[in-house]
């Protein structure tokens, strides 16, 4: 089986970068979350009685007796597939299904559990902490960037919790958001996703109000211009009549 034959759906990866199997779910392996991924996948592999094969504590048995070898081979293949399919497309490039589970595990550990990987996580968290609303043209753009960094750090030692995400977002919000923030803050079970939904809806509401005010202002301006033109036309008409009356009076026609 080649790497390209596994689509995200077949591999158990959902669009939100979550790997799911019958034992649970975890974030797929990204360049930033090796620590969490390895812990969760180890648990899944242990349930399959395959992790000792991954660590080479359980060696390949002789071909006979056949049932024992068949059990070992089945668990070895499961380990390969679970490791491979729980990687993101980017991290999957480091391994292939021709490798044995030990080589796959060690290759990923060497690549993503390194000092450089940890430094990358710290750098991402630093960028998250330094983001300001003033750097963006809209609240939604600010939220999008915060969310992107949060997703990159998901499952790592620098993971951004719901409360941390909300705390990073709230101080920069304009005063027009105070009411919705106060209402949502009363919910003890508030998640970052719930908070984002409320803020995005409030931004849309403010945008609609602004558009309505602009439309009303434009209509008022148009009405004022029309009224001014009407008055000017009336004055012109009256002036013309007066001029004609004056000319007719002087000529004796009226």
- Using a cut of 0.75, tell me whether the model's pTM lies above it: no
Q: Do residues 140 and 124 both lie within one domain?
A: yes
Q: Do residues 155 and 189 both lie within one domain?
A: yes
- pLDDT tens readout for residues 45-63: 999 999 999 999 999 999 9
Q: Do residues 99 and 144 both lie within one domain?
A: no
The answer to whether residue 217 sits within a structural domain is no
pLDDT of 126 > 60? The answer is yes
- pLDDT tens readout for residues 19-40: 999 999 999 998 888 888 999 9
Domain extent for 37: 3-112
Asked which of 112, 129, 144 is the last residue of a domain, the reply is: 112
For residue 215, what pLDDT is reported? 64
What is the rounded CA–CA span in Å between residue 128 and residue 165? 9
Q: Do residues 16 and 108 both lie within one domain?
A: yes
Q: Which tokens belong to 88?
A: 């993101």
Q: What is the mean pLDDT of the chain?
A: 83
For residue 155, what pLDDT is reported? 74
Q: Do residues 32 and 76 both lie within one domain?
A: yes
Q: Do residues 107 and 23 both lie within one domain?
A: yes
For residue 221, what pLDDT is reported? 57
Q: Which of 223, 220, 186, 183 is nearest to 202 (CA)?
A: 183
What is the rounded CA–CA span in Å between residue 153 and residue 204? 28
pLDDT of 233 > 80? The answer is no
Could you count the other beta carbons within 10 Å of the beta carbon of residue 194? Answer: 14
The answer to whether residue 229 sits within a structural domain is no
The answer to whether residue 247 sits within a structural domain is no
The answer to whether residue 245 sits within a structural domain is no
Q: What are phi and psi of 25, to 5 degrees?
A: -150, 160
Q: CA-based diameter of the chain, in Å?
A: 136
Q: Do residues 56 and 128 both lie within one domain?
A: no
For residue 59, what pLDDT is reported? 94
The answer to whether residue 248 sits within a structural domain is no
Question: Please, which pLDDT band fits residue 230 given cuts at 50, 70 and 90?
Answer: low
- Say how many domains are in the chain: 2
Q: Do residues 101 and 23 both lie within one domain?
A: yes
Of 161 and 32, the one with more pLDDT: 161
Question: Please, which pLDDT band fits residue 117 given cuts at 50, 70 and 90?
Answer: confident
Q: Do residues 41 and 127 both lie within one domain?
A: no
Q: Which tokens belong to 24?
A: 């649970």
The answer to whether residue 139 sits within a structural domain is yes
For residue 14, what pLDDT is reported? 54
Q: Do residues 76 and 149 both lie within one domain?
A: no
Q: Do residues 14 and 56 both lie within one domain?
A: yes
Q: Do residues 72 and 149 both lie within one domain?
A: no
Asked which of 206, 224, 242 is the last residue of a domain, the reply is: 206
The answer to whether residue 251 sits within a structural domain is no
Of 142 and 228, the one with more pLDDT: 142
The answer to whether residue 199 sits within a structural domain is yes
Question: Please, which pLDDT band fits residue 9 given cuts at 50, 70 and 90?
Answer: very low
């Amino acid at each position: 089986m080649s790497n390209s034959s596994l689509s995200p759906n077949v591999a158990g990866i959902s669009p939100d970068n979550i790997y799911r199997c019958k034992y649970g779910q975890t974030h797929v392996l990204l360049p930033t979350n090796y620590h969490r991924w390895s812990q969760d996948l180890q648990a899944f592999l242990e349930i399959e009685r395959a992790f000792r094969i991954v660590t080479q504590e359980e060696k390949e048995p002789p071909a006979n007796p056949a049932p024992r070898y068949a059990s070992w081979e089945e668990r070895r293949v499961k380990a390969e597939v679970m490791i491979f399919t729980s990687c993101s497309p980017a991290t999957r490039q480091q391994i292939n299904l021709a490798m044995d589970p030990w080589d796959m595990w060690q290759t990923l550990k060497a690549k993503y559990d390194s000092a450089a990987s940890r430094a990358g996580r710290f750098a991402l968290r630093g960028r998250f902490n330094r983001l300001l609303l003033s750097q963006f043209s809209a609240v939604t753009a600010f939220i999008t960037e915060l969310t992107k960094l949060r997703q990159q750090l998901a499952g790592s030692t620098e993971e951004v919790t719901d409360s941390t995400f909300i705390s990073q977002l709230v101080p920069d919000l304009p005063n027009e958001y105070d009411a919705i923030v106060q209402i949502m803050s009363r919910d003890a079970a508030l998640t970052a996703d719930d908070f984002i939904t409320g803020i995005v809806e409030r931004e849309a509401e403010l945008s609609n109000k602004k558009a309505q005010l602009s439309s009303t202002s434009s209509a008022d301006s148009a009405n004022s211009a029309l009224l001014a033109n009407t008055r000017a036309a009336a004055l012109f008409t009256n002036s013309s009549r007066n001029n004609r009356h004056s000319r007719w009076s002087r000529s004796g026609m009226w």
